[in-house]
Amino acid sequence: MNACTSVEADRKCTHPASAPRLLELVTLIACVFSAHATAAAPSRETIDSAGAKRSYYIYVPDSLAASTPAPLLVLLHGSGQNGAALMREWTELAADKGIVLVAPNALDNLYWRLRSDGPTFLRDVITATASRHPIDARRTYLFGLSGGAVYALTLSVLESEYFAATAVFAGAWRDDASLAVVPLARRKIPVAIFIGDRDEFFPMNTVKATEAALKEAGHPVFVTVLKRQDHSYAGVARSVNREAWNFLAAIRLESEPIFQSYEQNH
């Protein structure tokens, strides 16, 4: 029979010295649960943009000082997903690094379209975000996944003086029509591309063509090929996100951002 299997034995086995340690443990557990309960969580917001009601997700880490401008990362989700799905993969790193996240929803979640989801929509989301927490305007970045990666590349050259830099995973331009936007860039925007060598939707020839077009136009381009990796993101999100942020965080605009109002000019 165990030494402490009865009420009487329990009394004998509860040493006075153990009480403070027990209280300390209970307090620690309570603090952990309290921290999780009060930690910042992403929220879904809506705005009016170009006469339409649009939605997006925002995450502001609790650790950010209320008056300190923070870097902003705009997340563009993959086809068939929404902003919340991509934001979930970034909140831990954002909390650690002090990054404000916004993840807009495409009008049609299957596609990002330049007309309906154009730069003005993203600018309106960024403006709304800046009204909730001060943003370092020279440190606004893009990260895109799959279809969102393709769109991020396009936005990079259309609004090269507005976004400081871009990182994408599992995406590249796949035709000459898409590559034709590269000469429109007014600034040589840095771009990082992360791609699996077994990506079934974006084979390496499309990545090489995208890299070549950007480099030929003078853009700094950095391609990281993940060995034995397909199109899936979840399993590599933690490492890809950290490398992507290390790339982005080192870059900032040399002057105040300039928005090109693409829709008004086309």
Q: So what's the pLDDT on residue 72?
A: 98
Categorize the per-residue pLDDT at 66 as very low, low, confident or very high, splitting at 50, 70 and 90. Answer: confident
> Is 16 a residue whose pLDDT tops 60?
no
Amino acid at 172: A
3-state secondary structure of 223: strand
Q: Read off the amino acid at residue 186.
A: R
Query: Once rounded to an integer, what is the mean pLDDT over residues 164-193?
Result: 96
Q: Read off the amino acid at residue 85.
A: A
DSSP character for 235? G
CB atoms within 10 A of CB 206: 20
In percent, the amount of the chain with pLDDT more than 90 equals: 78
DSSP secondary-structure letter at 257?
-
For tokens 């009865």, the residue is 6
Count Cβ neighbours within 10 Å for each residue of 156-178 and write b for 16 or more, e otherwise.
bbbbbbbbbbbbbbbbbbbeeeb
- With a cut of 90, say whether residue 120 has pLDDT above it: yes
- Residue 28: is its pLDDT beyond 60? no
The residue among 60, 172, 53, 189 whose CA lies nearest residue 124 is: 53
Give the residue among 171, 147, 152 at the shortest CA–CA distance from 223: 171
Pull the structure tokens for residue 256.
């105040």
Confidence at residue 14, expressed as pLDDT on a 0 to 100 scale: 34
d(CA 218, CA 214): 6
- Would you state the pLDDT for residue 165? 98
What pLDDT, on a 0 to 100 scale, did the predictor assign at position 90? 98
Q: Indicate the pairing of strand 100-104 with strand 52-59.
A: antiparallel
The one-letter amino acid code at 246 reads N
**Which of 37-46, 90-99, 194-203 has the lowest average pLDDT?**
37-46
Residue 5 pLDDT: 32
According to the model, what pLDDT value does residue 263 have? 56
Mean pLDDT of the chain: 87
Q: Average pLDDT, stretch 71-81?
A: 97
**Kind and range of the H or E element at 255?**
none
Average pLDDT, stretch 12-39?
Answer: 40
Q: Using CA atoms in the order 239, 242, 244, 248, what is the torsion angle rounded to 10 degrees? A: -170
pLDDT at 41: 87
For residues 131-152, give the mean pLDDT: 97
Looking at per-residue pLDDT, the higher value among 41 and 266 belongs to 41
Q: Which of 37-41, 60-64, 240-244 has the lowest mean pLDDT?
A: 37-41
Q: Quick one: average pLDDT of 206-224?
A: 98
Q: Can you give the pLDDT at residue 67?
A: 86
Region 103-111 average pLDDT: 95
Longest Cα–Cα distance in the chain = 85
Residue 89 has pLDDT above 90, yes or no: yes
**Cα–Cα distance for residue pair 213/36, rounded to 1 Å:** 46
